[in-house]
Chains A and B, each alone.
Chain A
């Protein structure tokens, strides 16, 4: 039992939703894509688009092949109103002349101002099915990686035989079968129910298993996909009641449903005979069987009322019927082979498109090779001399023979162009039912044979697939520091920075900024990338990678470094501490650790220096303690001499802090006296708690990322990626001092020499706003003629300085103290003044204190 438009429908075990609906008397299953014509069961095997409905909120489910499940809710789609009375069916009645192929390229363009109206309408009618944007996720998709020695696609007799053959040779064989009802005799192989979506390089065959995508890697692939029944092209060939033999076979033999009362069979091969036998068994009156191989019929016209077949006219003879079985022969389902690299050739004697030049590692067996398919050569169309009525070549996209003729007349004379222009073969059936018929029409119109027209490129997927399945399970990997939970307990507003979760602030940005300036603050900087570079060549290696010098550094000292590429662009920045003669501790930006390790290893694959590069980012936590009282705080928890002489600015010391082995780096990213403590991650919370408790009477306060950004901006310390982009170099980023161009070689040296030779074009400068409004980051820098000349990279209100400060890229001629420029603000312009020196503590007295 399931519901269809809210009404209950009974079903038997083994039914599909489609067969149960048919048994319950439903004949119209959908409305067509463009003309909203009523459509009913056509192939009944999951190939065509005619039975697509929305099942439990999932659009475009082919109900003819979807096994019943109790309680399912089935709704028709692509209708305004009901299946029987679709308001948009008006496009069929009057749209004909107005909606020819390619109309969307030509009409609804003028007047331009009406486009929003057109667009709104077109958006509402385009596409098939609706997705409820508020729907809860009803299914969970997953991906499984699997391997098979031999993967057999298709579990029919030929596939089973091939599977047995390979299994007997000792291979692990997997058989993929897309028809849930096909009986596959168990053998020495694994059976997977699902649809092979394509064949990719490396023997990759993704199999749509419903909720799981199996990514099969196979050493050998056997394609046994069989053949697909082809329709005939005549006026009224899309009426409800016109079916392919397979549909009759399924309804009668599989579900014991009488498909109609009075039937006519028109066939070009043996399939018509078999269908006739099935019809008779089911007690259907067969009003006529016409074998077009013997009888010459030029005109077939289906007549119907409200889109449902009432009679058929064969060269003028009218026969009443409610079922018309048409068979245009079968064609090999060669798509997978074509994707694998096989060539598709036309065999004129059998009128089949067959695969040849099967690539290595791939086999084709059974009907897909053309074997055992009786020759059938239907005419391109059966609309007689008059050529009246809509003959559908493609039921998915509502493409008629007239559309193809029109496309040819407009110059789209190759079948590949026809595909793109008319969208024939691009609908949900993926060309199964329309590819060969469209080739036949092209051959006739061009007065040539189908072989000369050729086929279009077969591309995955072989069948429609839900995007959810391809996307897999939604993973959103997050990195959390070992102090993460403390931040949450303290009320930290967590935000994403790359894949890291970090506190934006703990609720009061200004107070946090002022705590650092006035007392002491602490911030979790465990997200910094941390590398240990050690070995006899460590100094030389780093000197070659960075523009700075490191060989002349004394152990226990720190330098700021900027990594460049050979094009002279800034890649990453951080601090480098020399721990001993041949050991350096390198920090990177918070998201840069992986890229920097990769970079270091890459260059060393060429240079071959004797160094070890170890990424210890996850192993070490880091806390920056900064502010005028930072020394007082640290003195309480360590025996280290933390006096200005004991640990001077840019000194690195190792010792115990609160009993934890620590590397203490005295650096000043936030502009006040500060110590960056690096220590084993497991002590994260302990260290955090100890510092907070110990510093309570000193006025300690944790601060988040946003206050840190204000503080660093006061010092004009750059953020790589925020103030620099993929075009920035250190010279123009106002850090020319860092590039020691007298060194023999370093990565980026030549490009920087060139920058220096050509002179500055633009420069990264500080600025302050004349009035107190904060300009948007990314906003334009304009000069008095109102020409944009640069851009704002950072801007903040500084509570310490009581003004709005920022950084911007400006032309070199504006890069002098006091220069004026304007910033776009809400359509107006605000004045700003260039500042080259840090806004706060320009001489670094507080840093060094």
Chain B
């Protein structure tokens, strides 16, 4: 991978400055069934085409943003910092990241 990614803060940068946290998933709104939980935690759509995903400008401004990327060509169609969806105190719909970081 050597494409350029436009950080919403810093502009176009080498993809190596970023870490990718995979496709954006939807965190269940309330206590999920085991099946729903498994789907949320383990299943990915893994599309061949345009995918919305999380990126972090690790060696830069350390912002989390979302990008629309074509997984077949690595063409990045758009990047944006998203509005938080779950304000404090609410338990409304939450789109959240995939917890797949390794334990250190």
Contact = CB atoms under 8 A, between A and B. Distances in A.
Interface in B52-104: 54, 56, 58, 62-65, 74, 81-89, 91, 94-104
A565 B88 contact: no
Contacts of A607: 84, 86-88, 94
Interface residues of A, number: 49
Interface stretch (A115-123, A294-302, A742-750): A742-750
Contacts of B58: 598
Given A598-B56, A602-B54, A602-B97, A751 B87 contact: no
A599 B102 CA distance: 11
A750 B28 contact: yes
Contacts of A467: none
B20 interface: no
A724 B103 CA distance: 8
Contacts of B82: 605
A599 B96 CA distance: 11
B101 A601 contact: no
Contact of A601 (B1, B14, B64, B100): B64
Contacts of B81: 605
A200 B4 CA distance: 11
Nearest to B31: A750
B64 A566 contact: no
B103 A720 contact: yes
A66 interface: no
A540 B89 contact: yes
B84 A605 contact: yes
Given A201-B1, A750-B32, A599 B101 contact: yes
Contact of A572 (B3, B27, B86, B104): B104
A318 B81 CA distance: 78
A606 B101 contact: no
Contact of B99 (A566, A724, A725): A566
B10 interface: no
Nearest to B62: A601
Given A595-B104, A598-B58, A745-B91, A604 B28 contact: no
B27 to A, nearest CB: 7
Contacts of B41: 566-567, 751
B40 A608 contact: no
Given A565-B101, A606-B96, A200 B64 contact: no
B91 A566 contact: no
A363 to B, nearest CB: 20
B2 A202 contact: yes
B50 interface: no
B9 to A, nearest CB: 13
A184 B65 CA distance: 46
Contacts of B103: 569-572, 720-721, 724-726, 728
Interface in A534-582: 537, 540-541, 564-567, 569-572
Given A537-B88, A607-B88, A750 B104 contact: no
A591 interface: yes
A606 B88 contact: no
A624 B91 CA distance: 40
A591 B95 CA distance: 28
A426 B23 CA distance: 36
A571 B96 contact: no
A609 interface: yes
A745 B21 CA distance: 22
Interface string A265-291: 000000000000000000000000000
Interface in B14-38: 14-15, 19, 21, 27-28, 31-32, 34, 37
Nearest to B1: A201
B38 to A, nearest CB: 9
A754 interface: yes
A592 interface: yes
A589 B104 contact: yes
B3 A201 contact: yes
A607 B93 CA distance: 10
A103 interface: no
B88 A754 contact: no
Nearest to A753: B31
A603 interface: yes
Nearest to A754: B34
A145 B85 CA distance: 39
B62 A754 contact: no
Interface string A685-709: 0000000000000000000000000
Nearest to B32: A750
A204 interface: yes
Nearest to B86: A607
Contact of B84 (A145, A570, A599, A604): A604
Given A201-B1, A604-B84, A608-B86, A565 B64 contact: no
A667 B82 CA distance: 40
Given A572-B104, A750-B37, A603 B88 contact: no
B53 to A, nearest CB: 13
Nearest to B24: A606
14 contacts: A201-B3, A202-B4, A566-B99, A567-B100, A571-B99, A571-B103, A602-B64, A605-B81, A606-B95, A607-B87, A720-B103, A720-B104, A721-B104, A750-B37
Instruction: State the 9 A-B residue pairs at the shortest beta-carbon distance, nearest first.
Output: A608-B84, A565-B99, A605-B64, A200-B2, A201-B3, A202-B3, A204-B2, A592-B104, A566-B99
Given A540-B88, A571-B103, A605-B97, 6 more contacts: A201-B2, A598-B19, A598-B62, A606-B85, A608-B83, A750-B37
